[in-house]
Structure 1
Amino acid sequence: MQLDGIGRVQSPRIIHIGGGAARKVGEVLEQLGLKRPLIVTDENLVALGHVQTVTDALEKGGNAWGMFDQVVEDPTDVCVDAGLAALRAGNFDCIIGFGGGSPMDTAKAISFMSMNPGHVRDYKAPRQIDHCGPPVILIPTTGGTGSELTRWCVITDTERTEKYNLSGLACVATAALIDWTFTTTKPWRITADTAVDSLTHAIEAYVSRKAFAYADAFALAAMPAIASNVRAACHEPENGEARAALMLAASQAGMAFSNASVALVHGMSRPIGAHFHVAHGLSNAMLLPAITRFSIGSAPARYATCARVMGWADDQHSDASACEMLVEHLEALNTDLKVPRPSDLGHLADAETFALMAEQALASGSPQHNPKVPSCAEIVGLYRDIW
């Protein structure tokens, strides 16, 4: 944890949280003086009828809207270029990102690339993108990535087979409307994966070398909410209390990691997604127990607090015991949520692939914020362990 220096906080100007928040979109646009949004989403959300909730609210407010519904999972530079063409083809004054992390990250990238020259890869972290494009209003539907409140987005480079972080003021939404009611249609796998994604955000933010008190408060609130509600949400999709808790926790965890950073789990997760197209939350879940065990010796008090706040240990346990219980409960959670190994999905990797993935993980910058900063060889060993 940082004991000196200044913690930096960036967040949207307007945030609405709760059931029905998405229906406030027309009011929010009016408040911001905006009238002509481009909705960035995917075809599945159109088919489910969720997008109509937004368009009905826009039309009620007298807003003319357009739509780009070709967002793909793990959005690519090609997808961003197509969305950028859609933005430039119309007279739009803002962008609404509607969906999970993929539509929201695509909306951010379309916005800042409309004002910045070159290819999106030219802006990957650690470069900060502060030249902002049209205002972005984000409406999450999965409750996992926390992208609606973060200063980050992730895009996949189709030419280089690499997922990279993009960060800066241009990646911070102008407004976020966080409405849990969309999440009741999420299937088991997506519910489980997005919840563990949020849990990873919270844990990594709390143990990060860039952690500070403001971000800690969000992380410590998110962890118990996720641990207490993820199983119920998986088994009872219509459980509104569990869904609302997970959606709020996702946003809290997003605020935590956006300002304190993620660490080794995310650094190693992105290459798995880039090379094997494993969903981001699922690859985080595959990695979280093993990387926690690898890291706990370098921040035992912080990891022990994670275990205690989730009710997996108490004050009667030493930090060492609490850390061990944390790993055991993370492994049990993976078992209950049916998290596979990469090899269970038929993904084969050799020493050369592991070495490339390790280099890409280190290049992302995230592992440097881990309590125990790994070598390239240690990352390769961790990939072998979880495979």
Structure 2
Amino acid sequence: MAKFIVPKEIYHGIGSLENVKELKGKKAVIVIGGSSVKKNGALQRTQAYLAEANISSVVFEGVEADPSIETVLKGAQFFSQEQPDVIIGLGGCSAIDAAKTMWVYYEYPDSKLEELAQPFAVKPLRNKAIFVAIPTTSGTGTEITGLAVITNTEKGTKHPIVSHELTPDVAIVDGELCKSMPAHVTANTGLDALSHAVEAYVSNIADRYNDALAKNATDLIFNYLPTAVSEPQNEEARQAMHDASCMAGMAFTNVWLGIVHAMSHQLGGTFGIPHGCANAILMPNVIRFNSQVTDKYNDLAAVLGKTNAEELAEEIAALRSKVGTISSIKEYGIDEQVWADHLDQLTENALKDPCTLFNPRVPKAEEIKAIYQACFEGTAINF
């Protein structure tokens, strides 16, 4: 028996931001990152639609690229002052993930990050507010998922918070909001969406519902990501990528992810490598590792007109190159000795990451370390 959980309402398509005026409530706090949602008009339009719905709004801004627990606590304090009954995460994954976690602390002020990072530890939400997610990047699918990733800057580690309680009540998937994304952000977030589709498809609890979404998301990404990178104003490509990100998010929030993400979380927390970039570096070698125990990669290869896992890994590497993303960890500028000094800790943390629980193949420490080392060098690995 399985369960399929997504937001109660999903509005999608060019212009779907207008559905903000269908919300019910008295006061909204809108959580944003920097100035991009101001420059592209998304914030002003959101507030105007809220006003049409007779909902007052205030803004919490300044969420960093990898949202920290310090920022989350500041946001939760702001919520306590403003007492919203609607929380809106507007922007990239960072803004929405931070808003989700602020929501937890708003309803449960005594929460502890390390405790929340235990699987399914979040208590029932919606006692004070509902949650609305409006993404302006096409990658994480956070508008659809029960997942938030928060950084403990003191320890240099990322903590995934996993709970269906975090699934937004309303998601608005409007590709028009993505047209101002720079090429490198489009590439990295698109590859992140691909990693969600691929890992969800081979999850050890995968099922038909999520397989269909993951497979179609893979097809869309290979067809539209290069165009979205090279033609940022192309609305068809932007909406296709936004839909693909959302579909991949629907898949993985129900069957979760694997060691690509378990390992990538450490690379981001320790070295600041952008999440989608790290995922894209890791994916081919993780496919080679996992393909020893599952034939499902062959299905994804068939979507691309290929026949097996190795060809899928090679196609992903080719797409990575086509959209201008680096192919090895060392290309990010990490010194070999610094890498060697951190390798054992990276491995230990990856094995403890909740995503590892859903990988199709149970990894040993030496296997994680071998994948890391091959990806540092940018070489293919044999298992």
Is 166-175 or 355-364 further displaced after alignment? Answer: 166-175
Quote how far apart the aligned CAs of 1:381 are.
Answer: 1.3
Does structure 1 residue 204 correspond to structure 2 residue 199?
yes
* Alignment partners' CA distance in 2, 1:293 and 1:339: 20
Deviations 1:318-341 (A, max 9, x none): xxxx22211111111121122222
Deviations 1:4-46 (A, max 9, x none): xx2222221111111111121121x23xxx1200000112222
Superposition deviation, residue 368 in structure 1? 3.0
1:19 counterpart = 2:14: yes
How do residues 58-137 of structure 1 correspond to structure 2 at under 5 angstroms?
58-116=50-108, 117-133=110-126, 134-137=129-132
Which residue is 2:312 aligned to? 326
Match of 1:231 in 2: 226
How far residue 221 of structure 1 moved from its aligned partner, in angstroms, is 1.4
Q: Residue 115 of structure 2 contacts residue 121 of structure 2 at CA under 8 Å; is this kept in 1?
A: no
Q: Which whole-Å deviations, capped at 9, do the CAs of 1:223-261 have from their partners, x for residues lacking one? A: 100111111111111111111111101000001000011
Gaps in structure 1 of 5+ consecutive residues: 1-5
Q: Which amino acid aligns with 1:38?
A: V
- What is the DSSP-based 3-state SS (H/G/I as helix, E as strand, rest coil) of the residue aligned with 1:185? coil
8 Å CA contact 1:125–1:364 kept in 2: the answer is: no
Match 2:332 to one of 345, 348, 371: 345
Q: Identity, % of aligned pairs?
A: 31
Structure 2 residue runs without a partner (length 5+)? 377-383
Cα deviations across residues 347-377 of structure 1 (Å, max 9, x unaligned)? 2333341111111111112123222221111
CA contact (8 A) 1:112 1:170 kept: no
**Alpha-carbon distance, 1:126 to partner:** 1.3
Residue identity opposite 2:9 in structure 1: I
- CA distance in structure 1 between the aligned counterparts of 2:146 and 2:50, rounded to whole angstroms: 26
Paired position in structure 1 for 2:262? 267
Deviation at residue 169 of structure 1 after TM alignment: 3.3
Look up the match of 1:303.
297
SS class of match (2:292): helix
User: Per the alignment, in what secondary structure is the counterpart of residue 165 of structure 1?
Assistant: strand
Structure 1 segments of 4 or more deviating over 6 A? Answer: none
Asked if structure 2 preserves the Cα contact closer than 8 Å seen for 1:115 and 1:131, the reply is no
Please list the CA deviations of residues 100-136 of structure 1 after superposition, one character each: whole Å capped at 9, or x if unmatched. 1111111110111112223222211314313214211
Separation of aligned partners in 2, 1:347 and 1:78: 27
2:354 aligned residue (338, 354, 365): 365
Q: For 1:177-192, list aligned pairs within 5 A.
A: 177-192=172-187
How far apart, in 2, do the equivalents of 1:192 and 1:350 lie? Answer: 25
- The AA in structure 1 aligned to 2:247 is Q
* Aligned with 2:40 (options 45, 48, 51): 48
Correspondence for 2:380? none
Tell me: CA distance 1:267–1:280, structure 2 relative to 1, closer, same or farther (3 Å).
same
1:324 and 1:272 mapped to 2: Cα distance? Answer: 24
Aligned length: 369
The whole-number CA distance in structure 2 between the counterparts of 1:225 and 1:126 is 31
TM-score by length of 1: 0.92
1-side partners of 2:74 and 2:329: how far apart?
31
SS in 1 for 2:179: helix
Higher mean displacement: 206-215 or 165-174: 165-174
